[in-house]
Structure 1
Amino acid sequence: MENMNINSKAKHSNLSFSNRGFKEEDKRQEINKTSAGHKDNIQIASKGNWRFSFRNRVQDEATVQPKRKKLEDKQITTYRYPWDKASLKSLQIDLKAFEKLDAYAAKVNANQTVDLLVKELIRNTHSDLEKTRAIWIWICHHIEYDTEGLKDLSQVSCDPNDVLRTRKGVCAGYSSLFESMCSIAGVKCKSMSGYSKGGRYKTGQTFSGDSTHEWNMVYLEGSWHLLDSTWGAGTTSHNEPFTFKYNEFYFLTHPALFIEDHFPEENKHQLLEPCVSLKQFEKLNRKCYFYKMGLLSSWPDTVTVETVKGKVTFTLEGRHHLLFLFHLNKTETPGLMQLTEHGMKLDVYPQKTGEQILQIFAKREDSEGVYDWILDYKVICKSVDTNMKIPKCLMNPVGPSWLSEKAGLFQPSHQDPVIYTEDGCCTVSFALKGKLSIFATLDSSEIQMTSDMKHRHIFQTQRENDVEFKVRLPTSGTYVLCVNVKDPNGDTYTSQCKYVIFCTNHTVHWPQFPLVYGTWAKHYELLGPLDGILPENSNISFKLRVPDVTEVSVRGGKSSFPLSLTPQGYWEGMCSTGGNQELNVTVSFKDNPNVYNYIMQYEVGKKKQIK
């Protein structure tokens, strides 16, 4: 999508553009706030290395200024509703072609009258579109949102000359200055009043009474187009100063997208056919960043939803790989989120009844910046699904996806991110692309999992083209299996696929797998015994596949039990645990046959019970 980052005000502008709506390279500042006239922007650091930002409009202005002299609605052009998914703009423009003009307009000094400022801005323009663009860029980079004036609108002047002199204004000041400058430049423009989903907006609310916001409509190339220089200018958060942060989205925005958060007093000024009713407007819930991220659709497509048997499902589809986060009631994450090829599926299980607010955030897969707020819902929960307990230790997303494939994990044995096991055992496998360094961990929020337990209730066998994880749960409950892959360009491991494992059988009490040493190679295979604790005074059968060694033995105390190599390539044999507290498996390599290398250890005794 069209994107431009500019360091303002007017000095040392650094601009970067991309042409189409879904191609932006968005280098966001590390501290994001909201669009001018936007409310709180909050960044929260959590368990992972991510941040996200809330973008909501600053305080809506309770009552906008009275209408100035109206222009004739000449040739009101209408666009089909809903959105045709073709472009974010109502006029096809090449933002790269504006680079020189934008850079110039952003630097123009305005220590003069409105007339002289306009003359300076448009001196090198060749069309009404270029004139409009120059005026838009200047206002968005030089007029500060008047957060103090918002507290008492009766003391705020929206006269264009006053706005220019003070370099401050509320929404009516922005729109009046824009209209005046366009008039001087010979561009038809009018100011529009209506409702907006700004700082005082609450998810799912209804609208009534006076208008709360003002924006503009300009006549270009034979038709009318919408823009909002207030929301294009910058950011502010509650009780904090305004910060310039340009937002390209609100310049000539496609009317089917503009209607998401702007509802004019007169239906014809929606520029839509058919028009959207106020009731329909109240049900819309997509933020500008929903479209800037290249998303195309969301379901449910209404802001208020109800759970069915304690669950509600949301799906998003777009054009690109995206990463997502969600919060219920700002801090809770009671859900399972799966990434799809160009979107995601989210199942939410509220843990209490009543009305609750769900917020969804997203960012590009290659972005190191914040997660932007793209969507919100009012969730009405009538009953809680007590059988579905989402582990607090779970960090979504779950299940295999393009993300795990990108890391080299293919052909998963389990496509569903939820695994149910009656006996407390399961095996998860992947085909591998390339030489990967990989390991898995097991975690739970229901029992205290020591570091030893997190690793030794999983047994990994990795061959050249695949990897297998045998999992045996310490007790019944809900667990998270996390598959981690090493960054090929560094030393860090990143979680690339997670499964949620459910077991309701209270008789399950599996011991840990045997302890393996660093000499245990990834391609070795253990068929038995799998229990890390062996019974006392018993004969135990061993079977392992350990290639390229000359000898495999099981040693306990002063006793040694050599294993025999079968034609099938397995080392097999019997061993007694009598008189031993532990048993060790040793191997001898061809290049040093007289040295015994420890590869695995078993304890001997009673199995420990997990409480």
Structure 2
Amino acid sequence: MAREQLKDQGVFSSQSIARVITQGARNELEKIRAIWVWLCHNIEYDLDGYLGLSPKLSTPEEVIKTGRGVCSGFSSICLEMCREVGIQCEEVSGYSKGIGHWPGHRLADKPSDHMWNAVWVKGQWGLLDACWGAGTVNMDTKTFVKRFDDFYFLTEPIEFINSHFPDEETWQLLDTPISLEQFELIPLKTSAFYTLGLTLLQPTQYKITTDDGETTVSVSSCGQLTFAYELRQRDSETGAARQNEVDGSCGLLSVTQQGMNLRLLPPEPGTYELKLFARTEGDSGTLLWVCTLEVECPAVQQSQSLPANPYLSWGLGSNAGVHGVKGCSVPSQDTLEVCERGECEVVLHTSRPLMMVCELIHPELDFALAKRCLALQITAEQLVCNVLCPYKGYYRLSVFVRDYDDGSGSFQNVGNFLLRCRGLGVNQNVLYPPDISPWCGPGMRTQAAGLSQFSHTGALVNLPQGRCNITFHCTSSQLQIHAVLSAESYQKNKEKLNQASFPLSRHILLTFTDSKVTVSVCVPQPGVYRLGLYGRTPPQQDYAPLCDYVLRSVCNRCGEPFPCVYSAWGKGCVLLEPRGGVLAPQSWVCFRVRVPAAQRVSVLAEQRVDLKMNKSRVWEGKAFTGNITQIKLTAATSDTSDMAVLMTFDVLNLESKL
């Protein structure tokens, strides 16, 4: 029966109310439960009385009549109601970690400040606190927040002692009682801490002192939770926490399915209040305050500031498994140290094909530059993010995924990784090309096109000699392959120096034999290049991108171009000699080439030379370059067909230089 109904009937006697609300109870436990629930729902905490703004109401009749009372009001009514219905009950006085308490307060210097109850049920004593079960007090707004909290009904003594210390040791109900000094050192844990199944692994006491400006807090959980934290510096005079929260970049929160780890680096020396919050993963409700600790920072760590993290936690997210990510190359609680070259790699292992996008954040890194610091590789079983760091300091790499085939799906954040570049960073002249696609290296696109057995399985290819051959197999007899080489720095140098050098298209040569494709590359100068592979299947007109490679050369020797290739150079054609596309004047050159179905193969130099086919079905012969500027390699597929140009070679003038 609600208090309003009793008030209308003029009933304010705790004994009368106890008899009414326990009428349907079948045993002592149900009677106690009925009394405790009635108190929690019908009496509010008398905050004005506690603050001295009005007289305290403590007698049972006054509390019931007004519907508000302090802790002694709750406990005295509980005592009278229990005794009225034949339940043994006692009031217990002691200290609590409630209003006005903060870690480090010495309790022995002041009288106890709280009252609760102990009841005899099922042959043993149990502890309950209806005052705390009714709600909480918000001292910032000076209001009582009505919120039923079942945790304080017959609470386990080992959990109750974290916030309630009785004057009489007996009422701890512990096999090994603790002292008041030990009680003061216990971290402040709320009811939500226990109902969410949390365990504080580190620290074991309320106060943490930083070591070289750094400390760690670890919490384990029984289920998958979302965590957050709040850090406020305490006022040196009053000891109260300041209103302004410390910048979130001073903490690194990493969350796993087993709990969370928080690495703190306070921004300046002082004393801080640390509050931890949590809620069940997927719950859209507010985060619940679960624990408060005190952080003492004698001296700060002299290091670069950390990047802000709007996604709260660091490392692989606790929800990553739901979105198809089952593991990561970076331990969730670690900072990934970038190598001296200013680059690193993050690999996510997946349980199903996923699409990925990434975000790289550093205080000095703008959007356009950040894009050139990432090269992504998307395969069926893993996602690879190659990262370049052009500046010293800390970076945040955030990874987002969606199911590969769900083009309309939204990307979900599955990981936020802290990278640290201790050196000066990579030179901005060797960042990834600005036009690379999200499809770097062999992956889902090449697999769907029927390409396999790649000689280079990663997105990055280093060219110590300035050249390489990338090979792969193609199962489709209809697929046509095209390759494009590009480099921003090469084009800029050509314009700046007005060089009459060859276009980059002359520095790649595509060879397609049976099911094997070879892309030969010989770069003209040191630098970073994009090698794009494209494919189409007739009657498709346009080539679709298959994948990009990032080619990096430090070779100072100028790479020679290949011959200029024409459309007649088709599947099965192989150039054996000469591989270079620029020939010396006044010299004999050996030509060796395979041309399927050719009836005649000729070299058009100063004089026409018809090549001969040897036993290995290779057309070969020698031609003299003379003083002409171009030599043509031609072929005819029948005795009557015209000779088609397969490729052309440039001949240097005697005075010219490359």
TM-score by length of 1: 0.72
* Structure 1 equivalent of residue 336 of structure 2: 419
Contact 1:453 1:512 in 2 (8 A): no
Q: Quick check: 1:277 aligned with 2:179? A: yes
Contact 1:106 1:137 in 2 (8 A): no
Separation in 2, partners of 1:406, 1:264? 46
Letter in 2 for 1:331: V
Q: Quick check: 1:447 aligned with 2:392? A: no
Distance 1:589 1:359, change over 3 A: same
Letter in 2 for 1:283: L
Q: Quick check: 1:595 aligned with 2:498? A: no
Q: What SS does the aligned partner of 1:373 have?
A: strand
Q: What SS does the aligned partner of 1:272 have?
A: coil
* Structure 1 equivalent of residue 614 of structure 2: none
Separation in 2, partners of 1:566, 1:332? 61
Distance 1:176 1:569, change over 3 A: farther
Range with greater deviation from structure 2 (228-237 or 318-327): 318-327
Looking at secondary structure, tell me which structure has more strand per residue: 2
* Structure 1 equivalent of residue 167 of structure 2: 265
Letter in 1 for 2:484: V
| 1:521-554: CA deviation from partner (whole Å, max 9, x where unpaired) | 85459889969xxxxxxx9878586966412132
Range with greater deviation from structure 2 (141-150 or 521-530): 521-530
Q: Quick check: 1:572 aligned with 2:473? A: no
| 1:450-482: CA deviation from partner (whole Å, max 9, x where unpaired) | 1x3333321111122222221122333321111
Contact 1:205 1:282 in 2 (8 A): yes
Letter in 2 for 1:248: D
Q: What SS does the aligned partner of 2:6 have?
A: coil
Contact 2:377 2:438 in 1 (8 A): no
Distance 1:528 1:177, change over 3 A: closer
Q: What SS does the aligned partner of 1:345 have?
A: strand
Distance 1:201 1:516, change over 3 A: same
- Displacement of 1:411 in angstroms is 4.2
Q: What SS does the aligned partner of 2:328 have?
A: coil
Letter in 1 for 2:163: D
Contact 1:171 1:215 in 2 (8 A): yes
Say which of 464, 481, 486 aligns to 2:402: 486
Contact 2:353 2:379 in 1 (8 A): no
| 1:7-36: CA deviation from partner (whole Å, max 9, x where unpaired) | xxxxxxxxxxxxxxxxxxxxxxxxxxxxxx
Letter in 2 for 1:419: L
* Greater RCO (CA < 8 Å, at least 6 residues apart): 1
- Displacement of 1:327 in angstroms is 2.4
List aligned pairs for 1:80-119, cutoff 5 A.
109-111=5-7, 112-114=11-13, 115-119=15-19
Separation in 1, partners of 2:530, 2:199? 60
| 1:92-130: CA deviation from partner (whole Å, max 9, x where unpaired) | xxxxxxxxxxxxx67994232323322211111122211
* Structure 1 equivalent of residue 130 of structure 2: 229
Distance 1:136 1:337, change over 3 A: same
Say which of 190, 195, 204 aligns to 2:104: 204
Give RMSD over aligned pairs: 3.6
Distance 1:373 1:544, change over 3 A: farther
Q: Which has the larger radius of gyration?
A: 2
Separation in 1, partners of 2:181, 2:79? 30
Q: Quick check: 1:311 aligned with 2:214? A: yes
List aligned pairs for 1:382-461, cutoff 5 A.
382-387=298-303, 389-393=305-309, 395-400=311-316, 402-415=318-331, 417-420=334-337, 421-444=339-362, 446-450=363-367, 452-461=368-377
Contact 1:439 1:484 in 2 (8 A): yes
- Displacement of 1:387 in angstroms is 3.7
Contact 2:278 2:287 in 1 (8 A): yes
- Displacement of 1:596 in angstroms is 4.0
Q: Quick check: 1:122 aligned with 2:22? A: yes
Separation in 2, partners of 1:344, 1:529? 34
Contact 1:143 1:164 in 2 (8 A): yes
- Displacement of 1:188 in angstroms is 1.6
Say which of 213, 226, 231 aligns to 1:323: 226
Separation in 2, partners of 1:140, 1:594? 75
Letter in 1 for 2:64: L
Say which of 473, 483, 490 aligns to 1:553: 483
Q: Quick check: 1:349 aligned with 2:253? A: no
Q: What SS does the aligned partner of 2:159 have?
A: helix
| 1:148-184: CA deviation from partner (whole Å, max 9, x where unpaired) | 2223277222111111111111111111111111121
Letter in 2 for 1:110: L
Distance 1:507 1:260, change over 3 A: closer
Contact 2:390 2:425 in 1 (8 A): no
Contact 1:485 1:494 in 2 (8 A): yes
Separation in 2, partners of 1:351, 1:131? 54
TM-score by length of 2: 0.67
Separation in 1, partners of 2:518, 2:326? 31
Q: Quick check: 1:515 aligned with 2:435? A: yes
Which runs of 5 or more residues in structure 2 are unaligned? 233-244, 447-453, 492-502, 551-658
Separation in 2, partners of 1:147, 1:448? 52
* Structure 2 equivalent of residue 606 of structure 1: none
Which runs of 5 or more residues in structure 1 are unaligned? 1-104, 532-538, 604-611
Q: Quick check: 1:464 aligned with 2:377? A: no
| 1:331-358: CA deviation from partner (whole Å, max 9, x where unpaired) | 3332323334422222222222222222
Contact 2:116 2:128 in 1 (8 A): yes
* Structure 2 equivalent of residue 167 of structure 1: 67
Letter in 2 for 1:316: V
